[in-house]
Amino acid sequence: MIVFARRARLSLPHEGLAPGRDRGCQVADTPGNHVTPALVDRYTSRCTMLTVKDRGRGHVSGDSQGAVACREDGRAANAAGRGGGLRFGLLGAVRAWRGGDAVPLGTPQQRLVLAVLVLAEGRTVGRERLIRALWEESPPVTAVRTLQTYVSQLRRLFGAETVRWVGDGYAMPAHPTDLAEFRALCASGRRAEALDLWQGDALLGLTGRWAEAERARITGLVENTVEAHLEQRLHDGDAAGAGTELAALCAERPLHERLHGLLMRALYAQGRQARAIEVYTALRQRLDEELGVRPTAELASLYRRIISGQEPGARPAPVPENGGPHPGELPRQDGEEPEEGDEGDDAGGEGAAGTAAAPPAQLPADVHHFTGRDEIVRDLTAAATPGSTASAVALAGLGGVGKTALAVHVAHRVRHHYPDGQLFVDLRGAGSEPVPPGTALYAFLRALGAAASAVPEATPDRAAAFRSLLAGRRVLIVLDNARDFAQIRPLLPGAPGCAVIVTSRSWLGGFADGRTHALSAMDPRESLALFARIAGERRTRAERAEAAAIVELCGHLPLAVRIAASRLCSRPRWPLERLRHRLADERGRLAQLRLGDLSVESVFALSHDRLDRVDPARSRAFRLLSLLDGETFTLAAATAVLALPADETEEICEGLVDGSLLSSPEPGRYRYHDLMRDFARQRCAERESAGERDEALERLLDLWVATARGLDRFLYPGDSVPDGLAPTVHPLFRPQDVDTAVDRLLAESDGILRLLRRSLSGSSPSAPVDLVSVAEILTCLEYLTESGGDLVPYRTTVRLLVETAVARGERRAEGWARYLLGYAHYRRGELDAALGEFLLAWNASGESGDAVTLGRTLNRLGITARTAGRPEESVPYFQASLAIWYERGDRFPQGSTLGNLARSLLDLGRTEEAVAAARENVRIKEGLEGAGGEGTTATARYLLGLVLTGAGRPQEATGQLQAALEMFRARRLRLWQEATRLRLAQAQLALGRTDVARVLAGRCREAFRRWGEEPFAEQADAVLRSAEQGCSAVVATG
């Protein structure tokens, strides 16, 4: 099936007909770190107000931001004037000059359109992207017209040819900008001059997600430049001047590891070794207390070079023993063994079982803000306590879930049981260079007192020596970040009395059942408590709803929650709503979850990059599967996306589960953590071509069409089938029974609706989706609205389909979409809105020759008129609909329309005609049941029972309604079940059985109110009032 139409075939209503693809708005530089505007302002106000003479050396010559602004205006004006052309400013407020004269740019919205086009640097920007940048997910109905107005104003300001319509978007030729000059100056090493261009907030005055994301990118570029400039000053010998600036910057960013590393180097170069060590010690403590992490290996290596006097620069005296590493920190934490002749090679030591060494105490500090995990803490503590049957326990889970913090916390709880020492090693299993077992054994043997000369060369011999040293001792061993069981096997003790706690991102298959614990994200209560401990209890209580939303957007991942809360700690005046708003944009969420050198993205990247090296096919699958929406996805959906056999797809998905990149809540279903999906989509956009992504989504949509079409044929056999539907590549879904059909529909509906919304909004895929296929899928999903499902996502998707069809001028799709939207309004009791949509659907389907949608729409018009109290107006609609069904020979809609006509005839007092029409509906549907359509008479019997009650024959009505109720229960249509109970209550009331009527009406009234079905709830209230009064008169059937 061709799900995506080619753009060249579309008849676009605006701006021309050139074919092409939307390349989007791209920015070449995407620096990883971000700074606050205050930080950059502070830096630039101190060290970038430079004279021409001093710029190359980075010396301060003034302290006036106004001077910089004037100098920038003059520089821009002169640059523009030299060529007589245009120049734009982005490093501050959005500005423009022509021939040296400033150009007024109008409203902030118009400036935003200009900024998007300028940053595209000559590339075409799709109209939908511009609309999203302006209004995000809530564009007005006049969005296209308003955008055209902004473009017209820009053309008036800069010339008719400046902004051109290309394909389905706009393009503006690349012009000189201060951002481009900034990059050029940085590339040529003139960073001080580049920083002179910075004016504070980039894109000042522009709001919204697009502006926030671009501002973060540009600010990150400036931060990188600030750091590189200071590093160059250190290299040039200006340690004192650079150190002053670095001290101020580190005060602004107390957890930024690279800045602290530069400050340590500056202090060391000035001969202030003790102060450099204090900086590292304080940073290490803050990282531990606030984030539960250790400094990076690079920073730890710098620290070791400083304490040993081996860092290039000043040569102070070696640090005395009491100024060395804190207890438990190995001098060579990177796992490297000393080379021959090193001072640490204690050739004259005590031998393999030396007794002079104190028991090792290598555990990192316990996390100060450790929160939650009560049950698993109890389980692990019991398992790690002497006497337990399990001497080794493991924690497996995705990066950032808190495995290390939990392992260290439990280790501190039980360490008093292990007086002979506690060993700890980071095995770096998620990285590209995991620590070899032999290297870890060398460090352990030395920590236990073995002389370097006594440590064997071969790993098996070292393992044997390690087990010998542990014999008779009680030692706790924590093996953090293991790659697999093969890496840790030599590190396990061979005798009782010792305990081992292992953490890994992969499931370790070498442990017996029950000894590996899967660690998932925290529950909402625990993650909110963690957030409050870091961000502040009072602040969290004051904005509890915003705090709860923030931890939800963090996916309750401990690392993400810690970073988000710590960001707020350094921004005490920020309302929590500001961070919540930034995190709400999934496209920029990972960029917000970064604090200095620590980020959720970098933690996830370790797992992805390792998988990329060892299994490229599975790594590609990890990226492509992120195109699937919904909380979970099925094996069938994954098979369609990957275009692989089902057994091969299952093997790949299970491998991703073993590596903690996916989870599997039940057999055949898989789930990404929310942030992991964001990461996978980001990598997918970077690594997979637009064509590959389109093809994957085309296969997926084809599967949904085949599924919807098969379900529709099964649930409504004999129903009319629209003409001209394209065949599907996937075979139609053929369920074995109603339960299978409904389970499939409910299981897939969330993911289907999310995918359709993304496709219709233009965010994915890049080629336009076939709207008739979308309408067919949504028609099948109408079943959800009758089973008590959430109407909001469905209605939002249908409305988006209407808007897209109108924008493209596709009348057939518009008619079908308006028919669906009209029914969604009808279900909410919005009868005027429903009537308006049905009338528009009538026009569109009539013009396009879509007889099926026209017949359905006329039937719905009749229902709406009758519900509005105008049964006389409804009859002609039903008759016109019947004429279409008789001409086509479509039996199912014939019966349905006759049943609806029966209700109008009853309202008009034409009782016998009403009963006859309702009985004919049952007869037709029973004939279809004989053809294999189990349960299709349910609504027919419901309508007949309703009509019989109104005709004064409640006893006969009761039998029909009870049969209908059983059928609706079998088809799991909750709304129809309660509606049938309401009709039974009315029949029982007419029979004088007021107690039975009261019970039935009370039950269904609660359900109707829970689902927002107020018209039904009011009818149930009427039955209850009549039952209380002992009245047996027939209540209006509505």
**CATH hierarchy code of domain 601-688:** 1.10.10.10
**pLDDT the model gives residue 1037:** 54
CATH class of 237-313: mainly alpha
Q: Which pLDDT value is given to residue 764?
A: 53
For residues 984-1017, one letter each, b for 16 or more C-beta atoms within 10 angstroms of the residue's C-beta and e for the rest, the string is bbbbbbbbebbebbbebbbebbebbeebebeebb
Mean predicted confidence (pLDDT) in 620-627 = 95
Report the pLDDT value the prediction gives residue 620, as an integer from 0 to 100.
Answer: 96
pLDDT of 160:
78
Q: Identify the weakest region by mean pLDDT among 112-126, 508-522, 671-685.
A: 508-522
Quote the CA–CA distance of 121 and 728 in Å, as a whole number: 41
pLDDT at 538 over 60: yes
* CA 146/CA 156 separation, integer angstroms: 15
CATH number of 37-221: 1.10.10.10
Half-sphere exposure of 16 (CA within 13 A, CB side): 12
pLDDT above 50: residue 787? yes
* Tens-digit pLDDT profile for residues 40-51: 343 333 333 222
Which of 88-102, 342-356, 1021-1035 is predicted most confidently?
Answer: 88-102
* Mean pLDDT within 987-992: 93
Q: How confident is the model at residue 788 (pLDDT cuts 50, 70, 90)?
A: low
Longest pairwise C-alpha distance within the chain: 113
Number of H helices, E strands in the chain: 44, 16
CATH of domain 374-518: 3.40.50.300
HSE, CB side, 13 Å, CA atoms: give it for residue 716.
20
pLDDT at 1013: 80
pLDDT at 527: 94
Residue 837 confidence (pLDDT): 95
Structure tokens at 693: 């992504």
Enumerate residues 6+ apart whose C-beta is below 8 A from 736.
Answer: none
Query: Quick check: 800 and 817 in contact, CB under 8 A?
Result: no
Helices 771-780, 811-827: crossing angle, 10 deg rounding: 30
> pLDDT-based confidence at 96, cuts 50/70/90?
very high
Which tokens go with 88? 């734009």
- pLDDT band for position 767 (cuts 50, 70, 90): low
What is the arithmetic mean of pLDDT over 589-618? 89
**3-state secondary structure at position 769:** strand
| pLDDT reported for residue 673 | 92
Q: What is the pLDDT of residue 222?
A: 86
CB 94 within 8 Å of CB 203: yes
CA atoms of 193 and 865, how far apart (whole Å): 73
Closest CA to 250 of 239, 261, 236, 241: 261
Kindly give, in sequence order, each residue whose CB lies less than 8 Å from that of residue 500, ignoring residues fewer than 6 positions away.
Answer: 391, 392, 393, 476, 477, 478, 479, 491, 492, 493
Q: Which residue has the higher pLDDT, 516 or 24?
A: 516
Cα distances from 889 to residues 845, 852, 863, 885, in angstroms, run: 19, 12, 22, 6
What residues contact residue 1023 under an 8 Å CB cut-off, 6+ apart?
Answer: 982, 985, 986, 989, 997, 998, 1000, 1001, 1035
* Chain CA centroid to CA 952, Å: 57
pLDDT at 286: 85
pLDDT at 1012: 76
pLDDT band at 15 (very low <50, low <70, confident <90, very high): very low
Please state, for a pLDDT cut of 90, what percent of the chain lies above it. Answer: 43
Average pLDDT estimate for 1011-1036: 78
303-310 LR contacts (CB < 8 Å, sep 24+): 303/264, 303/277, 304/331, 304/332, 304/333, 306/264, 306/268, 306/273, 306/276, 306/277, 306/280, 307/273, 307/277, 309/273
Q: What is the pLDDT of residue 389?
A: 59
Does residue 344 register a pLDDT over 80? no
Query: With contact defined as beta carbons under 8 Å apart, do 571 and 469 qualify?
Result: no
pLDDT above 60 (res 332): no
Predicted local distance difference test score (pLDDT) of residue 1032: 52
pLDDT tens for 271-313 read 788 888 889 988 988 888 777 788 988 999 999 888 877 887 6
Residue 770 — pLDDT band, cuts 50, 70, 90? confident
Q: Average pLDDT of the chain?
A: 81
Backbone angles phi, psi at 478, to 5 degrees: -115, 115
Q: Is the pLDDT of residue 752 over 80?
A: yes
**d(Cα 925, Cα 931) in Å, to the nearest integer?**
10
- Is the pLDDT confidence value at 776 over 70? yes
Q: Is the pLDDT of residue 354 over 70?
A: no
Please compute the mean of the pLDDT values over residues 605-613 and round it to a whole number. Answer: 90
pLDDT, residue 873, reads 95
**Confidence class of residue 369 from pLDDT cuts 50, 70 and 90?**
low
Q: Are 164 and 170 spatial neighbours (Cβ–Cβ below 8 Å)? A: yes
Domain boundaries, the chain: 37-221, 237-313, 374-518, 524-596, 601-688, 689-896
CA distance 191 to 57: 10
Token pair for 7: 């753009």
CB 435 within 8 A of CB 335: yes
- Can you read off the two tokens belonging to residue 51? 């004279």
Q: Token digits for 735? A: 């369920």
Tell me which residue has tokens 């090792």. 360
Q: Residues near 57 by Cβ (< 8 Å), separated by ≥ 6? A: 192, 236, 238
DSSP 689-720: -HHHHHHHHHHHHHHHHHHHHHHHHHHSTT--
Q: Say yes or no to pLDDT of 93 above 50.
A: yes
Neighbours of 932 (CB within 10 A): 11
**Cα–Cα nearest to 837, from 851, 854, 856, 857:** 857
Confidence band for 523, pLDDT divided at 50, 70 and 90:
very high
Residue 253 clears pLDDT 90, i.e. is over it: no
User: Hey, how many other C-beta atoms are within 10 angstroms of the C-beta on 317?
Assistant: 8
pLDDT tens, position by position, 706-739? 888 888 777 777 676 676 677 888 888 887 777 7
Please indicate whether the domains covering 37-221 and 601-688 agree at the CATH topology level. Answer: yes
* pLDDT band, residue 80 (cuts 50/70/90): very low
What average pLDDT score do residues 114-126 get? 93
Residues 894, 900, 901, 905, CA torsion sign: positive
Task: Give the pLDDT score at 316.
Answer: 38
Count how many residues are written for the chain: 1038
Q: Identify the pLDDT of residue 323.
A: 34
Mean pLDDT of 82-89: 72
Q: Name which residue leads in pLDDT, 804 or 514.
A: 804
pLDDT tens digits along 260-270: 999 999 988 88
For residues 62-73, give the mean pLDDT: 37
Mean pLDDT of 463-485: 92
Correct CATH for 689-896 of 1.25.50.10, 3.40.190.10, 3.40.630.30, 1.25.40.10: 1.25.40.10
Whether 53 and 67 have beta carbons less than 8 Å apart is answered as no
Least reliable range by pLDDT among 33-42, 89-98, 765-774? 33-42
pLDDT digits (tens, 9 = 90+) for 222-240: 888 888 888 888 888 888 7
pLDDT given for residue 522 in this prediction: 94
* Chain segment 173-224, per-residue pLDDT in tens: 999 999 999 999 988 888 888 887 877 678 988 988 899 889 888 988 888 8
- Residue 625 pLDDT greater than 50, yes or no: yes
> In the prediction, which pLDDT does 690 show?
86
How confident is the model over 626-663, as pLDDT tens digits? 999 878 898 999 999 999 999 999 999 999 998 889 99
Instruction: Report which of residues 819 and 345 the model is more confident about.
Output: 819
pLDDT at 184 (0 to 100): 92
